[in-house]
Each structure stands twice: as structure tokens, then as C-alpha cells.
Chains A and B, each alone.
Chain A
């Protein structure tokens, strides 16, 4: 009985892999055609014609002003679909807003938009102010034009809002169901959330922070866990309205790490600060020697939190993109089944990593808080 179901699943996945590689083959074909037209249009050297895997990967893991769902940039719906997002700029003439579709997918600064007497152009997903109508580049190929303050709803911001909304709806519904049923068996979404919340409380908060103080920090730990987890999962879903690399964005992890830094240092007691600036139980020269090291350690802890989450998620995305990119680098269809199978394998590991990284982030946060509020012994 078990064996037959296993065989069924195995056959299904093999069929699935070949189906997916079929679509990849179609994409390969398209890619080839675009490369051809590209070379005809721009007369670029043959070196630029080759598939540039690094720029493809960087393009996919970085933020963007529009959702590119499928198809080529020059096609229109139903052959291609892009979802534009609003661009919000703060300039010297005040607030400027327009949709990113006005750029017509132009990303090399040649499409100029004029609003409120100012000219704007998009170059490598950043908006520049172009007064004389062109983007001027320095010798390192970086634009020298000034950038207006950019508050745009980019892909990452959009998905961030989406996850906040989903968390509010989910936990709001869970809270309401508890209000209705009282302390009894959970119903609806609360049935799913209760074990997770209890896990955070019983396995993370209480052992690391202690029975006495843990209640104060539970909201923070729950928020961190579910927010990081949800955004990690959204990073793995490859279609609209997800497909944004939110937790693989260093600004996102930096913000979380700064919050953790503030909370840890604000809740630090006398004992914590004494261990940083005047280490008890060692001779005076050693106390003076240890103080700067401890101060550095205080800052390094949140920095390591920041880099760990960022690097783990980004590395996962890069591996998946490299495996798919292998097909285009080797320029043969026959790699497709292998690389899609490996992608599937890595994706399954990544699902595990999403949960582990959220767990680690919460765990280390509670460890740091626990160390900061530890009583003298």
C-alpha cells in the first residue's frame, strides 16, 4: 500500500519535472530570439550577446519598481504581463507621484518623464533627476545625477505591506475566535497558530528569558518570528503578488536588527552594563582592556543577526537562479531536467531554511534579551 503510493508520487514528480522543463525550453527559445533581435538592434559586440548569468541573478534578487509576471518587455497583455507600482518622490518642487508604467520598462535612463517642471529617468531600478535630459556616467559607470528622495511602493514594500496585512488579518481572526469561545479548544485559524505561539513561548521565551520576565517580550518575539517566516516564504513563491526578496534585503534585516539592539540595551539591567564596562572578577588592567571588546560585542550581536538572515535567504535564491541559469549558460535543453530536479531539491531545503532562520532569529533575540536581564549570581 505504502509502496504503491510512493511510486505514484515518484511518477507524478517525474512528469512534473519534465513539464516544467518544457516551459523552460520555451523560455530558452524566446531568450534566443531576443538575443538575436537585440544584436541586430544595437550592434553590440558578440561578447555582450552571451547570456550574463551574474546580471540575471542580481536583477532577480534586487528590488524593482514593477512586478514582471511573464513575457517580454516589448509585448502587451495577454502575451506579457507586468504590474506597475506607484512611484512616490520627494523633490525640491514637492511631492511627485506617477505609475512606474510611464517608464515603459525602460531601465537605461533614456525614457524621460516630466512632472512639476522636473525631469526624471530610471537607470538600473533607481530614479534619477535629469535636468539636461541625459544620465551622465562617471568612469566606473555610476550615474552622477542627483537622486530625489524615493518613497516609492516598490516590489519589496508592496510585499511587506501584504505580509503585514495578512498577519493582522490572521492574528485578528484568531484573537476574535478566542474572545468568542473563551479558554477552550481553538477554532479556525487559531487552531493553526496556537501550537506555533505556544512553541515560541515554551521552547524559546521561557528557557532563555526566564519565567519572571518573559511575558513582556512575547509580543516582540512572536512578531519577529511570524514576520520573518512569512516574508521568507513569500520570497520562495515565484509569482505575483509575492516573488519579492524581502528578507534577503539587507535594509529589512537591518531594521529588525536595530529593533533588537534597542530592545536588548533598553532592557539591560545594572548587571549587564557592569559586565560591559567594568567586568567583575578580573584585575583592573584587564577590566580596561575588556571594556572596548565588550562594546564591540554589543554591536556585533545585532550585526550578525542582520547578516545571517540576509545571507541565508539571498544565498538560497542565488542557488536556485544559478541552477536555472545553467540551462542558458550551457545552451542545451538536455540540462533542463537535471537543473529543474536540483532546483526542486534546493527549494524543498529552502522551505526548511525559511522556518529555521525565523526560529534562529527569534531564538538569538531571546538569548540576548535573557543575557541582558540576567540577575547577579
Chain B
């Protein structure tokens, strides 16, 4: 049954991957269009990436709870 917890964590990782990919892609687009805004775009992209990543880590915590 622990395999199911791992599967759930993996699915969450896919979601976070899509999310961070979209953020990164859009940030690159935005920087290419407005290179002078690079630092601002970069910092907000990092914040958004951390927010998305946190959701995947929630899943990791839940799979821990499942094990314990």
C-alpha cells in the first residue's frame, strides 16, 4: 500500500512540473520582450515557483503521514 503514497507524490510532482514549466516559459518570454524588466520578472517568477513547489511538498508531507 505504500506504493500508492509514492504514486500520489509522483502525480503531485507532475503537477508542480507543469506549473513551474509554465512560469519559467512565461518569464523567459517576458524577459525576451522587455529585457529591462529582467530583475523584477525574475523575482516574481521565483516566488511563484516556490508557491507551486510548496503544493508538491504538501503531497510529500501527506505521503509521510500515510506512512506514519
Contacts and interface: CB of A to CB of B under 8 A. Distances in A.
B50 A307 contact: no
Given A356-B46, A360-B47, A363-B47, A304 B54 contact: yes
A143 to B, nearest CB: 16
A203 B51 CA distance: 18
Q: Is the interface of B mostly helix, strand, loop or mixed?
A: helix
Classify chain B's interface size.
10 to 19
B61 A311 contact: yes
B57 A311 contact: yes
Interface string A332-369: 00000000000000000000000011011001000000
A97 to B, nearest CB: 31
Contacts of A363: 47
A307 B56 CA distance: 11
Contacts of A310: 61
Nearest to B46: A356
B37 to A, nearest CB: 15
A308 B51 CA distance: 8
B60 interface: yes
A304 B51 CA distance: 10
A311 B54 contact: yes
B46 A311 contact: no
Contacts, number: 29
Nearest to A360: B50
Contacts of B54: 304, 307-308, 311-312
Contacts of A203: 43
A329 interface: no
A201 to B, nearest CB: 15
A311 B58 contact: yes
A312 B61 contact: no
B46 A307 contact: no
A312 B51 CA distance: 11
Nearest to B67: A54
Contacts of A308: 50, 54, 57
Contacts of A312: 50, 53-54, 57
Contacts of A359: 47
Interface string A306-333: 0110111001000000000000000000
Q: Among B43, B57, B58, B60, which residue has the most Cβ atoms of chain A within 10 A? A: B57
A312 B50 CA distance: 9
Interface of B: 43, 46-47, 50-51, 53-54, 57-58, 60-61
Per CB-CB distance, the 5 closest pairs between chain A and chain B, nearest first, are A311-B57, A308-B54, A360-B50, A311-B61, A315-B57
Given A308-B50, A360-B51, 4 more contacts: A203-B43, A311-B58, A312-B57, A356-B50
13 contacts: A203-B43, A308-B50, A308-B54, A310-B61, A311-B54, A311-B57, A312-B53, A315-B60, A356-B46, A357-B50, A360-B47, A360-B50, A363-B47
